Amino acid sequence: MVDLLRKPFGSHGKVHEITPHAAGWRFVGFSVYRLRAGEEAAETTGDREVILVIVEGKAKLRAAEQDWGVLGDRMNVFEKTPPHCLYVPNDSNWNAVAETDCVIAVCSAPGKGGHAARRIGPGGISLTARGKGTNTRYINNIAMENEDYCDSLLVTEVFTPAGHWSSYPSHRHDEDDFPRITYLEETYYHRLNPASGFGVQRVYTDDGRLDETMAVKDGDVVLVPRGHHPCGAPYGFEMYYLNVMAGPLRKWRFIPAPEVEWIMESDAK
């Protein structure tokens, strides 16, 4: 079994690099750069499409032979303002020069050349509540199914208040059987407020063959190759995560865990 909990391998420069090969799957790639003002990051997309998410700070971006200017305006992700993002198609280059200290997430999946480079957000992205009670969390949808920006990628931000649960009731999307369910690999990039805190994420299958519960810290990434994947923020610690999903079909259809079906039915009333 591939290790599902990935710690940053540094505090500066590229601090995460999760390729499909390293994850043991086929679709999702995810990287994170932490840059100081004046520093630069650059990549070629190859056969993959990319969404660059300016998680924190500001950076000047060039991509697909265009100058996109300075993107980003939140200095701390927990400001919860809409993110500045850039879609870059396959067979392109991108370059980022940090205007301030910044964190840039690189979300990738197979590209088909179906979309041109474009800015995503902050316009058109608004913080939306989801769930009830201590299952309430707040979503910034960047490129979900109804936003036709991408060939493969599904990307969203989630803010979970202290003492609340998220990606809950537990659900899975690990079979290619649309419209009942879709196969989507997924990564979670976690941040905590305060940064000294921790959260909890469990990844488990109905048959119990996969069942891992992880304490996640600020900057960790969790891989979800299959199974249910709820996470919780203990009292005193607010949780953010950036989700990246991709699979053979750009649709998000899931099935709840048997033990929580009654919760979903109750919430729907």
Using one digit for the tens of pLDDT, what is the confidence trace for 125-152? 999 999 999 999 999 999 999 988 899 9
**Residue 1 clears pLDDT 60, i.e. is over it:** no
**What are the extents of the domains in the chain?**
8-267
Name the strand (E) or helix (H) holding 267. helix 261-267
Mean pLDDT of 78-83: 97
Amino acid at 29: G
- CA-to-CA distance for 130 and 132, rounded, in angstroms? 7
Identify the pLDDT of residue 54.
98
Q: Is the pLDDT confidence value at 269 over 90?
A: no
The model's pTM is 0.96
Give me the mean pLDDT over the 162-186 stretch: 97
What span, in angstroms and rounded, lies between the C-alpha atoms of 85 and 67?
Answer: 14
Identify whether the C-beta of residue 100 lies closer than 8 Å to the C-beta of residue 141.
no
* CATH class of segment(s) 8-267: mainly beta
Q: Supply the pLDDT for residue 265.
A: 81
Q: Could you give the CA distance from residue 51 to residue 202 in angstroms, rounded to a whole number?
A: 27
